[in-house]
């Protein structure tokens, strides 16, 4: 157990009374304790199990036999058969027959099998046959989980969106999140960079926080994993890229309080619970999937295409002429810029390419009644369509479950992956190929006359500012290798009756190796003869959980049960960084780019960081005949992320559901086939702030960070706040689940109202304090909205089948409280009580003066007067937001005699977007940068011309206004696939002869088409949640062909 350390309490004389910082680390007490319990349990099992076994042998017993068949009379294997109140279960064999020993007369025997409605039949003799009907009541059969419990849909009271593993399989996306896009109402997923494996940002029911992360918590097989971008140098990798989509059994998205408050201080942004595939006993099944294809650039929006040489030359001269230069002077300058050289190139074509794409997966599933396993291995490779960007990943998964005896089940899972990634510079860096392709003049020549790469940095046809992206791509290295190991071990112990004890430990290891090399020929490594940085970063995150579950059936009332769960959880994550930096390389062209070749070391870094949580939780629920279900939960969390006085907090929820379809009166109507009302209220938290945010800190920033003249230097860099607490989200949810026509159609509607208070705000301070802001719990905001999910088997005949799923979510965000001194100018947004957090706030463009081509601005938001001086225009609060009014997905599956067509759309409507570098790409003030085609085509040139692009001149318009704000609406054909399932053919006997029971061939295209609604829009509108395009790598289309074989 942990050693006891003294807690040092220091009353600071510097204005932070009561500031307490512990300077020692504790031992891993919980961890070792859980291990101990696990061992104890495993080694003591036989004795305990024997003593615990009991049989109430009062009646006379016999062995029941029979067979199970489907409607058509075909034998059903693997049906689970069990007598109510008894422990023994058996499964039917391949002929549908079973033998169930120790049955007495009047026992009720249940028959359950996936895809079929369960049946319960009384024993009336020694033989009992059953006919199972296909499950029509989808809600009853679907199982949902919040990570702590598994529930049937019917017993569930929470707003949980579930995505089945089938949806995830064989998708040509590097990250599983990309497949999730558009699948669950209210869940928005944005990967704003086209870099494969890049960070995927998720919002559930809108923006959860202003200053902290709004990304949901992600739980994989019970483990709360570290997510997001964990790297420190290259920063283009999502921590979960290594997860193989084909291994996912299901994804449950927890949206309301009843589900998320179980996660206490970390549940307020919603929770995504991922379960990986488990083995199925019986014959070992092998699946093999192979997919191959290519990636191709998506078309640039027309308005955003770069200018060609003659167009650029025309604008260049026009700018200078409009500035009053003489034709002679213009000619001279044009010559120096190579405008008359006859040599030019198309930068967009030079930095884009057609890439390759491939994935291979093998899965194994099988086992005996006692031991089941699922194992898989996969390989995935994808090239982005931007030069220098690619990804490959290898992964392996083993899930094992072993029934030690009827009281003990042991299970373990190991999920290992390695992801390799190459990436170019991003954002506005001079080496970013996307930025380069936008700003480089067609007359800046990529190649010299002799065909070699142009590395000159002087002269106007060369690269004095932005680097030649081809040189950077050829000689620089920016690579990352991420190894992710996720393992867990679990013992489930049926102590007695309906009391279960589960002990669980999990380890989540992420190791990252980042290597950069900046070449000596051109770019940031030039002045120093090449520079290399190597980073090794490691996250070691462990969690242990001990949980008791008890089910109590109320005596004398059928189907009335109480469930109670209590548990304790401890988690600790530690980050380690080791990095070095050096320059002075022998010769860039020689390929000696390893850091060891650096003549001059410039930096060494080694440091740790961490967080820990402890939690006590309890859940209680009552289920009355599946008609009324009540649920309550409580959690007490402690976290290292807060000062001692604010370390603990309590969270709770209450929820209930009424399955009206279980009531007698429901049967009297014919409109609905099922109906459920559910509602919940509760409090969850957000503790996703940086680990030491509350501390007023003085830092050394490494060896040389703040050093001066060889003396290590410290700076007071963070004001801190010892009163900082978690943010609290009070969530209310009301939902209705409806089924029509024997549940062929279903509609799920949710209304939610999330009131977040204690919002941590980076309260702007006067810059004279030396700081620009400090964290305080001052804000509050509301997210409210509606979600609709419509699912239907529109056509359902033997030959033809059409399933459609449409979801739409409306979210309204409103700030309800802020610090009094809040600067309303929050970047491009208006930060004020009563407004959406993402309300744009800028000067309003009023068009172009037809007489002289001047840009006009509204003097104020009454729009009565215009001015051509932007300084005379007032900032306006716009009725335009960066977040969509509504968004969702629309997916369709058509099946005709084994031919499957899937057509999936995602859409996003009612938002506006802004480009980080658009000023350079639109304003004549920057006439040495290339421009968007829209500017060329619409600029004012002649008096009387009515247009929306001002005169092209160096003195015009170079500040922020709605002139550069675009509609971000889009509809995207996300996925289009056509497949053929050979195994469904009646002539598939040949396949069966070779043991093949599944053979699927398909072709697939992603991002095939995008429909846009603003012809000025110059870039793809799928940008960050703040509506900002930071010259992100463009996304692309993929075209793949694949085959799935099962044995």
Partner 1 sequence: MRYIIYKLLIVLVVLLSLGSCKKSFLDQSPNIALTIDKAITSEASMLEAVAGMYRSMTTYYTFGRNYSVFGDLLSDNVYLSSTNSSRFLSQSGFLWTGESPEASALWQNTYFSILQANRILASNLQRTENVNYLLGECYTARALCYFYLVNWFAQPFTVSATAPGVPLVIIPANITGPLVLPARNTVAEVYTQMVKDLDSAASLMPADPKMHPNTTNFFSKAAAKALQARCYLFMGDYAKARDAALGLVQNGGFTLAGDKNTFNSYWAATAGRTDKLESIFGLNNPAAANNGVEGIDYIYSSKGFGDLLATDSLYQLYSPTDYRRGLIADSVRNKNQAYVVKKYQNATNTDRDEVKLLRYAEVLLTLAESYARTNDKDNALLYLNSLAKKRDPSFAGYDAGMTLADITTAILKERQKELAFEGLRFFDLARTNVSYARENMGTKAYSNYPQVLQTDFRRIQPIPRNELNVNPNIAPNPGY
Rounded distance between C-alpha atoms, residue 476 and residue 783, angstroms: 45
| Cα 276–chain centre separation | 17
Instruction: Give the CA count within 13 Å in the CB-facing half-sphere of 328.
Output: 0
Closest CA to 67 of 105, 100, 21, 103: 100
Residue of 719, 847, 850, 910 that binds partner 1 (CB under 8 A)? 719
Q: How far is CA 409 from its chain centroid?
A: 32
Under rule CB under 8 A, residue 614 binds partner 1 = yes
Q: How far is the CB of 354 from partner 1 (least distance, A)?
A: 33
Cβ distance 493 to 500 under 8 Å? yes
Which CB sits closer to partner 1, 340 or 600? 600
Minimum CB distance to partner 1, residue 659 (Å): 33
Q: Please, what's the largest Cα pairwise distance for the chain?
A: 114
Residue 33 or 396 with smaller CB distance to partner 1: 33
- In order of 30, 505, 548, the CA distances from 37 in angstroms are 10, 11, 14
- Other C-beta atoms closer than 10 Å to the C-beta of 320 total 21
> Are residues 1033 and 195 in contact, defined by beta-carbon separation less than 8 angstroms?
yes
Angle, CA of 1014, 433 and 524, to the nearest 5°: 140
Q: Build a one-symbol-per-residue string for 753-792: x at contacts with partner 1 by CB under 8 A, - elsewhere.
A: ----------xxxxxxxxxx-x------------------
Stretch that binds partner 1, among 174-182, 358-366, 711-719, 896-904 (CB under 8 A): 711-719
Place of tokens 């967080």: 611
Bridge partners (DSSP) listed for residue 1023? none
Residue number, 133 or 703, with CB nearest to partner 1 = 703
**Per CB under 8 A, which of residues 420..459 are in contact with partner 1?**
458-459
Determine contact, residues 802/785, Cβ cutoff 8 Å. no
- φ, ψ of residue 552 in degrees (nearest 5): -125, 120
Among positions 365-424, residues that touch partner 1 (CB under 8 A) are none
Residues 561-580 that bind partner 1 (CB under 8 A): 566-568, 570, 572
Beta carbon of residue 1004, minimum distance to partner 1 (angstroms, whole number): 43
Sign of the alpha-carbon torsion through 772, 774, 780, 785 = positive
Among 78, 284, 325, 597, which residue sits at the site for partner 1 (rule: CB under 8 A)?
Answer: 325
d(CA 270, CA 161): 11
By CB under 8 A, how many residues form the interface with partner 1? Answer: 122
- How remote is the C-alpha of 1017 from its chain's centroid? 26
**Among all chains, which residue has been given the structure tokens 């042998």?**
57
**Binding test (CB under 8 A) with partner 1, winner from 122, 327, 713, 943:** 713
Residue closer to partner 1, measured from CB, 142 or 697: 697
Shortest Å distance, C-beta 863 to partner 1: 22
- Rounded to the nearest 5 percent, the helix, strand and coil shares of the chain are 15, 45, 40
Choices 219-227, 395-403, 729-737, 822-830 (CB under 8 A): range interacting with partner 1? 822-830
| Complex with partner 1: residue 481 or 640, whichever CB lies closer | 640
Sites for partner 1 among residues 25-64 (CB under 8 A): 25-26, 29-30, 33-34, 37, 40, 48, 51-52
x-or-dash pattern for partner 1, window 721-760, by CB under 8 A? ----------------------------------------
Span from 77-85, 196-204, 388-396, 521-529 in contact with partner 1 (CB under 8 A): 521-529
Helix (H) or strand (E) holding 905: strand 899-909
The residue from 57, 671, 711, 946 that contacts partner 1 (CB under 8 A) is 711
Please say which residue, 260 or 774, places its beta carbon nearer to partner 1.
Answer: 774
Q: Which of residues 626-685 bind partner 1 (CB under 8 A)?
A: 638-640, 647
- C-beta of 220 vs 921, nearer to partner 1: 921
We find the least distance from the C-beta atom of residue 776 to partner 1, in angstroms, to be 9
Look at the block and give the residue holding tokens 């003593």.
51
Closest CA to 449 of 345, 337, 589: 345
Under rule CB under 8 A, which residues in 590-609 are in contact with partner 1?
600, 602, 607-609
Burial 438-464 (b: 16+ CB within 10 A, else e): bbbbbbbbbeeeeeebbbeeeebbbbe
Q: How far apart are CA 178 and CA 382, in angstroms?
A: 14
Among 65, 232, 412, 460, binds partner 1 (CB under 8 A): 460
Window 2-31: contact mask with partner 1 (x via CB under 8 A)? xxxx-x--x-xxxxx--x-xxxxxx--xx-
Whole-number minimum distance, CB 458 to partner 1, in Å? 8
- Rounded CA separation 752/733 (Å): 4
List the interface residues with partner 1, window 243-302 (CB under 8 A). none
Residue 624, CA distances (Å) to 255, 564, 697, 1029 in order: 24, 15, 55, 53
Question: What mask of x and - would describe binding to partner 1 in positions 537 to 556, judged by CB under 8 A?
Answer: ---------x-x--------
Report 682-701 residues binding partner 1 (CB under 8 A): 691-692, 695-701
Query: Nearest approach, Cβ of 144 to partner 1 (angstroms)?
Result: 26
- Residue the block writes with tokens 């070779």: 994
Q: Which is nearer to partner 1, 303 or 525 (CB)?
A: 525
């Amino acid at each position: 157990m942990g050693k006891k350390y003294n807690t040092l309490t220091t009353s600071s004389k510097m204005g932070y009374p009561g500031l307490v910082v512990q300077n020692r680390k504790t031992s891993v007490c919980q961890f070792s304790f859980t291990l101990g319990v696990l061992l104890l349990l495993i080694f003591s099992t036989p004795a305990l199990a024997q003593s615990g076994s009991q049989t109430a042998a009062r009646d006379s017993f016999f062995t029941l036999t029979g067979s199970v068949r489907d409607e058509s009379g075909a034998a059903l294997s693997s049906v689970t058969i069990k007598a109510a109140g008894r422990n023994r279960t058996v499964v039917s064999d391949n002929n549908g027959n079973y033998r169930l020993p120790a049955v007495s007369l009047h026992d009720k025997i249940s028959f359950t099998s996936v895809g079929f409605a369960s049946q319960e039949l009384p024993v009336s003799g020694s033989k009992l046959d059953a006919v199972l009907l296909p499950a029509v009541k989808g809600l009853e059969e679907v199982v949902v989980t919040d990570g702590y419990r598994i529930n049937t849909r019917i017993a569930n009271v929470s707003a949980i969106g579930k995505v089945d593993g089938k949806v995830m399989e064989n998708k040509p996306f590097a990250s599983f999140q990309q497949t999730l896009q558009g699948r669950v109402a209210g869940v928005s997923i944005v990967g704003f960079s086209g870099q494969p494996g890049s960070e995927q940002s998720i919002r559930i029911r809108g923006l959860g926080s202003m200053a902290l992360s709004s990304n949901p918590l992600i739980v994989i097989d019970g483990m709360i994993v570290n997510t997001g971008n964990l790297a420190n140098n290259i920063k283009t990798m999502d921590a979960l890229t290594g997860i193989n989509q084909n291994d996912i059994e299901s994804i449950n998205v927890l949206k309301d309080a009843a589900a998320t408050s179980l996660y206490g201080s970390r549940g307020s942004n919603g929770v995504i619970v991922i379960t990986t595939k488990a083995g199925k006993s019986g014959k070992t099944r092998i699946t093999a999937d192979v997919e191959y294809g290519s990636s191709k650039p998506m078309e640039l929006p027309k308005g955003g295409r770069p200018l060609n040489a003659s167009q650029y030359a025309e604008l260049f001269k026009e700018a200078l002429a409009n500035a009053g230069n003489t034709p002679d002077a213009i000619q001279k300058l044009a010559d120096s810029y190579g405008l008359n050289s006859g040599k030019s190139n198309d930068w967009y074509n030079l930095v884009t390419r057609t890439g390759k794409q491939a994935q291979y997966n093998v899965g194994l599933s099988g086992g005996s009644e006692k031991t089941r396993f699922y194992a898989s291995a996969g390989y995935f490779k994808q090239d982005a369509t931007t030069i220098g960007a690619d990804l490959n990943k290898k992964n392996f998964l083993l899930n094992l479950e072993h029934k030690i005896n009827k009281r003990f089940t042991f299970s373990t899972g190991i999920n290992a992956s390695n992801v390799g990634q190459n990436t170019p510079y991003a954002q506005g860096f001079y080496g970013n190929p996307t930025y380069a392709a936008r700003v480089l003049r067609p007359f800046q020549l990529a190649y010299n006359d002799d065909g070699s790469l142009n590395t000159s940095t002087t002269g106007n046809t060369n690269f004095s500012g932005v680097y030649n992206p081809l040189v950077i791509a050829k000689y620089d290295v920016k690579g990352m290798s991420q190894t992710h190991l996720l393992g867990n071990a679990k013992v489930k112990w049926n102590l007695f009756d309906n009391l279960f004890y589960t002990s669980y430990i999990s380890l989540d290891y992420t190791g990252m190796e980042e290597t950069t090399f900046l070449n000596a020929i051109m770019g940031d490594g030039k002045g120093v003869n090449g520079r290399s940085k190597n980073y090794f970063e490691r996250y070691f995150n462990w969690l242990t959980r001990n949980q008791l579950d008890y089910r109590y059936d109320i005596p004398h009332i059928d189907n009335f049960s109480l469930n109670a769960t209590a548990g304790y959880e401890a988690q600790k994550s530690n980050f380690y960084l080791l990095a070095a930096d050096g320059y002075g390389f022998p010769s860039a062209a020689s390929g000696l780019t390893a850091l060891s070749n650096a003549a001059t070391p410039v930096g060494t870094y080694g440091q740790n960081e961490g967080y820990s949580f402890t939690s006590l939780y309890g859940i209680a629920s009552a289920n009355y005949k599946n008609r009324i279900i009540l649920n309550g939960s409580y959690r007490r969390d402690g976290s290292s992320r807060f000062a001692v006085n604010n370390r603990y907090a309590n969270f709770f929820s209450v929820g209930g559901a009424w399955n009206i379809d279980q009531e007698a009166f429901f049967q009297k109507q014919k409109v609905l086939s099922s109906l459920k009302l559910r509602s919940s209220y509760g409090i969850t938290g957000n503790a996703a702030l940086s680990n030491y945010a509350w501390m007023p800190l003085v830092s050394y920033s490494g060896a040389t960070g703040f050093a001066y003249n060889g003396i290590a230097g410290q700076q007071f860099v963070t004001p801190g706040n010892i009163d900082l607490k978690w943010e609290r989200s009070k969530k209310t949810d009301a939902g209705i689940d409806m089924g029509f026509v024997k549940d062929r159609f279903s509609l799920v509607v949710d209304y939610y109202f999330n009131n977040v208070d204690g919002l941590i705000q980076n309260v702007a301070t006067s810059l004279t304090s030396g700081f620009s802001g400090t964290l305080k719990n001052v804000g509050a905001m509301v997210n409210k909205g509606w979600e609709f999910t419509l699912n239907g088997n529109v056509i359902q005949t033997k030959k033809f089948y059409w399933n459609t799923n449409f979801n739409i979510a409306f979210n309204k965000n409103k700030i309800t409280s802020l610090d009094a001194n809040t600067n309303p100018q929050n970047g491009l947004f208006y930060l004020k009580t009563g407004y959406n957090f993402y309300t744009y706030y800028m000067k309003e463009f009023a068009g172009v003066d037809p007489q002289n081509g001047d840009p006009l601005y509204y003097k104020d938001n009454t729009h009565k007067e215009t001015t051509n001086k932007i300084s005379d225009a007032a900032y306006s609060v716009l009725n335009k937001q960066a977040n969509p009014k509504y968004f969702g997905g629309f997916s369709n599956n058509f099946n005709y005699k084994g031919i499957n067509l899937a057509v999936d759309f995602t859409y996003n409507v009612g938002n506006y977007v802004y480009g980080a570098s658009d000023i350079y790409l639109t304003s004549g003030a920057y006439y040495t940068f290339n421009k968007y085609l829209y500017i060329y085509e619409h600029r004012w040139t002649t008096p009387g011309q009515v247009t929306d692009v001002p005169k092209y001149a160096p003195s015009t318009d170079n500040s922020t206004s709605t002139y550069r704000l675009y509609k971000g609406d889009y509809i995207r054909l996300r996925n289009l696939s056509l497949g053929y399932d050979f195994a469904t053919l009646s002539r598939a006997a040949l396949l069966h002869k070779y043991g093949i029971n599944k053979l699927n061939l398909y072709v697939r295209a992603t991002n095939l088409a995008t429909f846009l609604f603003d012809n000025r829009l110059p870039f793809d509108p799928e940008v960050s949640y703040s509506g900002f395009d930071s010259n992100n790598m463009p996304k692309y289309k993929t075209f793949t062909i694949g085959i799935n074989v099962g044995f």
